[in-house]
Amino acid sequence: MSGNHIPYRCGKVALLGRPNVGKSTLMNHLIGAKVAIVTPKPQTTRHRILGIYTDERRQVVFVDTPGIHKGRQQLNRNMVRVAFAAAEEADVLVIMQDVTRPLDHGTRLLIERFADGSLSQPRIHVLNKVDAIPRQRLLPRLRQLQELDPHAVAYIPLSARKGTKTDVLLDELTKWLPQGEAIYDADWFTDQSQRQLAAEYVREQVFLAMHQEIPFQTAVDVEAFREQEHGVEIDAVILVGSERHKPMLIGKGGERLKLVGSRARLGLEKLLGCRVRLNLWVKVDADWFNHPGKLMDLGLHG
């Protein structure tokens, strides 16, 4: 119990939706730290990521999930399984959509799948990017959503990037969390290790530096994470799925790889609060995204 006898609440919230609707941006904003990487490319989030918000009233354990999509590769199938498993384990479901895009068939199917009553958790629908559309377009979208899922407990328009109305979402979530003590220490903001965060920060910069299909055939394996007197030294291998991708990622005279490394290093120094030495290599591992053993090694098993 807190000092004013209001019951403390703690629980898991699954962030669900199609790729690139803003789930990672929302979680990062709510917890005040960058624990999920963000790029304009779909399928950036590949595994379940916890972001932990704690204050004197509540602890909200956000579970950022991969975007729900169709894909033939083993990696894609694993990602979708991770998202639905997170929904089953959560106390509250937050289903996000991007209101700047039409309410397409895939989004409708996703909403209907969670609205069918097979899961009993309360559902909150979040309409993201409301700052980017006129108000007269928002109201018909809200009506459509209420028709698709009339038993949801709330429909909240907000802007994850600007932080508009995110406090409204947090307060609504709190109502539906079970009473109970905090699971994690108050200073924790993620369950990811520094090694995992390092791999994700490098992968983010690969996604931002590359174009077309190449980012989706890359992964990052941190082979060493050494804590030293004045900081940390990290050895990481960037896996690519084809021989032709290797020179494209390295770039002329190694310039592109240097850019990826320097940008990832700056982000990690800000996150870790110390100097970082980042050593990067590129290795070809054909079809790694279809090998269950390799996916397990990389933490990408379903």
What are the structural domains, with CATH classification, of the chain?
A: 9-176 (3.40.50.300), 194-297 (3.30.300.20)
Write out the DSSP string of 171-232: HHHHHHSPB---SS-TT---S--HHHHHHHHHHHHHHHH--TTGGGGEEEEEEEEEEETTEE
Tell me the chain's radius of gyration from C-alpha atoms.
Answer: 20
Q: Cα separation of 239 and 218, whole Å?
A: 5
Q: What is the pLDDT along the chain (302 residues), one digit of tens a residue?
A: 444 578 999 999 999 888 889 998 999 999 998 887 675 655 555 456 789 999 999 999 998 876 554 445 444 444 456 667 778 889 999 999 999 999 988 889 889 988 998 889 999 999 999 999 998 999 999 999 999 999 999 999 999 999 999 999 999 999 999 999 999 999 999 988 899 899 989 989 998 888 765 656 788 999 999 999 889 999 999 998 888 889 999 999 999 999 999 999 999 999 899 999 999 999 998 766 665 655 555 555 44
The answer to whether 240 and 282 have CB atoms below 8 angstroms apart is yes
Single pTM value for the model? 0.80
Rounding to the nearest 10 degrees, give the CA dihedral for residues 25, 30, 33, 34.
-10
Q: Cα separation of 42 and 299, whole Å?
A: 19
